[in-house]
Amino acid sequence: MNSKQHTLRTALITGSTSGIGLELTRTLLSEGWQVIGLNRSAFPKEDSDIQDGLRSGQLRWVQANLTQYDSLRKALNQIKSETDAIDVLFNNAGGSGYDLRLSDQGHEMHFELQTVVPYIIYMELQDLLHKGTLKTVINTSTSAFNMVKQFNLDILEHPAEFKKLFGPYATSKLALSLWTHEAASTPAAKGIQLLSVDPGGNNTLRGNKTSGLPFYIKPIMKLFFPHPSHGASLLYNAAVAQIRLTSGTFLMKNKPTNLRFAEQSSAILNRVHEIYEHEFLQLDSKIDPVSKKSV
């Protein structure tokens, strides 16, 4: 055990089976962390480091469809029953879709996955975060929202048009950073450091996946964007930084950066909390008290 592994730390990562999330998982495993991957799909079978982690138990896979609340609730309950503490929660799942779709709950899919679900996971795992040493939440954001010209709740939840990358993807990531900023000053967040981090441009293209990127971005990404390990390093560095950042900060290129549309942050937080309370938590009323199963 080297000096970097003297303290056993646990991280939970969503979106950890590909791209930046997979590279982050590999980094944390190499540093001796215990890692929980909360994902819909399985880890790649051809990745020997990942498979070694799964076999040894250093890496655990908890399966869930993150945008389906019943599936998400079961997965989070499993994590809470099997885990003593979480040092860092990496809300990393997401991506730019190629069309306008709704979740099972009827929310625009980017808003669901990239704004609402990270809040639900954060709220549900607060107790485990308080028991950890680092007590940190890293929400993967983007600088793409600098292209957003108009922003409010209605545009966020009910986009009048769909644009790849600079439409619902960008607005949902902006909303994520805004609620991160606002939630940091709430009593529930006391002792927890909340950060949203832009991992920069990374070559996350996959040949077998329909892209949600504008056509002109793809050749630029392929030729000029760095390997996803670049973005993973920015997320990792934000989580373990020796200098304690102000909770709620948005980091771009590892530097604190002011958020646009900050006047909307309270409304965004209120909305995601309303969804959490009235849509996610209401599943409790549908649980049979004897069998503890959904009815």
Residue 64 falls within a domain, yes or no?
A: yes
Residue 15, C-beta contacts closer than 8 angstroms, at least 6 positions apart: 21, 39, 92, 93, 94, 95, 140
Output Rg (C-alpha) for the chain, integer angstroms: 18
Residue 292 falls within a domain, yes or no?
A: no
pLDDT in the model for residue 146 = 86
Tell me if 31 sits within 8 A of 19, measured CB to CB. Answer: no
Tell me if 67 sits within 8 A of 104, measured CB to CB. Answer: yes
| Pair of tokens at residue 246 | 């102000």
Residue 236 falls within a domain, yes or no?
A: yes
Residue 293 falls within a domain, yes or no?
A: no
pLDDT in the model for residue 224 = 53
Residue 291 falls within a domain, yes or no?
A: no
DSSP 204: -
Residue 295 falls within a domain, yes or no?
A: no
pTM for this entry = 0.88
SS3 category, 196: strand
Residue ranges making up the domain that contains 101 = 3-286
Dihedral class, residue 19 (left if φ above 0, else alpha if ψ from -120 to 50, else beta): left
Residue 57 falls within a domain, yes or no?
A: yes
Query: What's 71's domain CATH number?
Result: 3.40.50.720
In three-state form (DSSP H/G/I as H, E/B as E, the rest C), the secondary structure along 254-271 is: CEEECCCCHHHHHHHHHH
pLDDT tens for each residue of the chain, 295 residues long: 333 433 689 999 999 999 899 999 999 999 999 999 999 999 999 999 999 999 999 999 999 999 999 999 999 999 999 999 999 999 999 987 888 999 999 999 999 999 999 999 999 999 999 999 999 999 999 988 988 999 999 999 999 888 877 889 999 999 999 999 999 999 989 999 999 999 876 445 554 454 565 555 556 556 555 467 788 999 999 999 867 789 999 999 999 999 999 999 999 999 999 999 999 999 766 554 444 454 4
Q: How many domains does the chain have?
A: 1
Rounded CA-CA distance 86/89 in Å is 7
* H-only helix segments in the chain: 19-30, 48-56, 69-82, 109-111, 117-124, 126-131, 153-157, 168-183, 217-224, 229-240, 265-275
Residue 234 falls within a domain, yes or no?
A: yes
Rounded CA-CA distance 267/284 in Å is 26
